[in-house]
Amino acid sequence: MSSAEPRPFRSSKPAAPLTGQAGVAGDKSISHRALMFGALAIGTTEITGLLEGEDVLRTAAAMRALGAEVEKLSAGQWRVAGRGVGGLTEPADVLDMGNSGTAARLLLGLLSGHPLFAVMTGDASLRRRPMKRVTDPLSATGAQFWTREGGRLPLAVRGAQDPLPLDYRLPVASAQVKSACLLAGLCAPGTTRVVEPEPTRDHTENMLRHFGATVAVEDTAEGRVIRLDGQPELKAAPISVPGDPSSASFPLVAALLVPGSRIRLTQIGLNPLRTGLFTTLREMGAALKIENARIEGGEPVGDIIGEYTALKAVDVPPGRAPSMIDEYPILAVAAAFAQGTTRMRGLAELRVKESDRLAATAALLEANGAKVSIEGDDLLVHGNGAPPAGGGFVTTHMDHRIAMSALVMGLASAAPVTVDDASFIDTSFPGFAALMNRLAGQDAIRPA
């Protein structure tokens, strides 16, 4: 788990371009769901490629605490013996979700549909993040919640004795809120209906079908409507977790920015609701290529090849935000090297991530000599086609994506970049520095 002591790291220009082939950490979103659905299925689910970062290990621990048998067989190979829908049992102790907002919010959906009492907490960063956006709609199932002011952790939940199906329209696009509602709906009779204003990552819908649930999705004038038939018998099914496209974004952007670089990232998840960054980078002129495209376990995967490119500025529409909400910090770094002003529109959701990620991204760039401004919920990065000065000290606010984005910037900026703490990188991308250094052929990222 995370060290209590901060671990400052520094990155600097490698002596040679980034080259070679690598896989990245397993997809975090799919890993969380694989453990949760395995716990709700009848039979034993075999999982390969599970991300073993701290966030996912917290989910594994929570599923054990709720009565499922969760066993690690070898690196990335796990087995889950499920309890069946409605079969989770009351935990004996507090559920500590660490730094993971995804795990916390999805788990609230699970708990809502079970007649049990549970208390949930997290680390200092997670305890600042709002849960009211989930607890409000989940209350309509009959579940009760007691939270700190502002709907924050720690919180207590008493799940519904006889859960009711939900009919809920999301006020803003959020895969976490949508998924929490669908997970609660598993235990309720009848049909749970969720409407999202913009399509968000659909791993929950894909995995529900993979385990045997009936899920219908329809695009309407009202938005995207998802209907789930409640109280299905989920049956254990094998899951192969692809490489996380969010994790792939860091070595990929590094290759685009370090002159002469060319890398191949293998077996990366290519779900179209997760690949907004790749679309945006291509619009910026990036040399990106997909090979070996295929479907595995209901999810599209393939290899991504990226090589150094002189990038140009673009205008990123707000409708793309749900498909790249976690990638804006690393996109902002790429934009700082591009020619012209890149405007990223409609980023209100970034204000309630692990940190105020909008402000933290702007501060990251400013600390390293890049010109940046915020207009409402838009982030503007003003590049001149040359590497920024670098040399900055970046406060990460316990946010792994801010830390990784800053360290990528240091690989291509004029002077090294230092972050105050890299310990939280392990929550989503264990082995990040080692992978980057292997591609660089040297320790370009190292303790400060």
Alpha-carbon Rg for the chain, nearest whole angstrom, is 21
Is 326 known to be catalytic?
yes
Residues 145, 156 contacting (CB under 8 angstroms): yes
Residues 168, 141 contacting (CB under 8 angstroms): no
Residues 146, 120 contacting (CB under 8 angstroms): no
Can you list the positions of beta strands (E) in 202-298? 215-220, 223-229, 239-240, 262-269, 287-296
Residues 413, 368 contacting (CB under 8 angstroms): yes
- Helix 328-337 to helix 245-257 angle (10° resolution) is 10
Task: List, in order, residues 6 or more apart from 185 with CB less than 8 Å away.
Answer: 113, 165, 166, 192, 228, 230
21/49 Cα distance (integer angstroms): 17
Task: List, in order, residues 6 or more apart from 33 with CB less than 8 Å away.
Answer: 106, 179, 203, 204, 207
Q: Would you tell me how many other CB atoms lie within 10 Å of the CB of residue 420?
A: 17
**φ and ψ of 64, to 5 deg:** -60, -45
Residue count of the chain, please give it: 448
Rounded to whole angstroms, what are the CA distances from 400 to 35, 222, 321? 22, 35, 19
User: Which among 244, 326, 399, 421 is annotated as catalytic?
Assistant: 326
Distance of CA 106 to the CA centre of its chain: 13
Give catalytic residue positions.
326
